[in-house]
Amino acid sequence: MDRTIRSSKAPPPPPIEGNHSKVIRFLEGFSWKDVPIEPYKQDSEGYKGIERRELAGKRGESTKFHVRYFEIQPGGHSTLEKHQHEHVVVALRGVGEAQAGCYIWKVGFGDVVYVSPSDPHQFRCPEGAKEPFGFLCIVNSERDRPVAADGLGVCHICE
């Protein structure tokens, strides 16, 4: 005997707040439903033309990681910084530059950048880019605070 209960009315989707399964809907223009744009950092020094969206890990989830989307406008850049925690960046939109240690890579859609602990790093969108450079950043939920990195001298450009 089939004991499945079927309803003609679907329940509403769960809210994006809370520690339960959910889908955060992608919208046009590289945004997500009910996810606000946030400032990149609280201070205003060392970066230009960058914003972020917290996708997972900030709304009550119990993850050991956070997933964030950053978008850098043409001519913009993140801070040149270093910290003990590692993170992974996945390019989703446009083209950019990823600097880690003394290497600079040109990156685009689907490229994955691993930043190791203590490596000075920065992400940039070229001045003449046709669109922003957007990427997912996956980072530990518990992490140390970044510190500004000094100039790195001569870097090697990798294609």
What is the CA 147 to chain-centroid distance, rounded?
18
Active site residue 137: yes
SS3 98: strand
d(CA 112, CA 89): 6
Backbone angles phi, psi at 114, to 5 degrees: -105, 125
Confirm if 45 and 39 have CB atoms less than 8 A apart. no
Confirm if 94 and 75 have CB atoms less than 8 A apart. no
Quote the DSSP letter at residue 33. T
> Of 102, 125, 137, 158, which is the active-site residue?
137
SS3 9: coil
Give just the sign of the alpha carbon dihedral 103, 104, 109, 115: positive
Tell me the catalytic residues: 137
